């Protein structure tokens, strides 16, 4: 398998993981039920989000679904134009694409809403509820930033 081919399993496995965890969470949590996993830090709760990042309104669910599909297309384009030879960048792009596809599927099959269930908090200070797709996007972006930082360090040394 070529290094760029790692994009596809990363994307498919990540999207499947996201959709599976959403299904499990929403099948097992009641509407107002809260499951405290780690006291004062982590819990599970059902939440639905009609917006984009942190609930921002950027148009309806169909608009955001189309933007997600365009983002995946751009990731594939950038990957094929890239001269990177390792697996790091393809996996990073694949995890970003997985998150975009997971949330896009939710928007298309859940009346324009994304299912969130992870509640991260310190005491009573809660981060906006999120899902595995959001985690994958953040991990992928972090990997891209790290790769660019390392590339800059190699050029200096």
Active site residues: 116, 134
Residue 64: which H helix or E strand, with range? helix 61-81
Q: Is the alpha carbon torsion for 68, 69, 74, 77 positive or negative?
A: positive
Measured distance CA(34)–CA(150) in Å, rounded: 41
Pick from 101, 75, 84: nearest CA to 7 = 75
Say whether 43 sits in a helix, a strand or coil. Answer: strand
Query: Whole-angstrom distance between the N-terminal and C-terminal Cα of the chain?
Result: 31
DSSP E strands: which ranges in 50-148? 114-122, 125-126
Tokens 């099948």 -> residue? 27
Q: How far apart are the C-alpha atoms of 18 and 15, rounded to whole Å?
A: 5
């Amino acid at each position: 398998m070529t290094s760029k081919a790692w994009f596809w399993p990363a994307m498919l496995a990540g999207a499947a993981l996201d959709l599976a965890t959403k299904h499990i969470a929403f099948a097992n949590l009641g509407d107002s039920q809260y499951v405290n996993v780690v006291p004062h830090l982590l819990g599970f709760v059902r939440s639905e989000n009609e917006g984009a990042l942190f609930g921002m309104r950027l148009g309806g669910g169909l608009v955001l679904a189309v933007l997600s599909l365009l983002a995946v297309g751009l990731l594939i384009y950038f990957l094929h134009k890239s001269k990177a030879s390792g697996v790091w960048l393809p996996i990073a792009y694949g995890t970003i694409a997985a998150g975009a596809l997971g949330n896009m599927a939710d928007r298309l099959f859940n009346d324009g809403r994304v299912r969130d269930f992870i509640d991260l908090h310190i005491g009573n200070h809660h981060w906006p509820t999120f899902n595995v797709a959001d985690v994958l996007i953040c991990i992928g972006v972090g990997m891209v930033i790290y790769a660019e930082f390392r590339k800059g360090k190699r050029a200096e040394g």
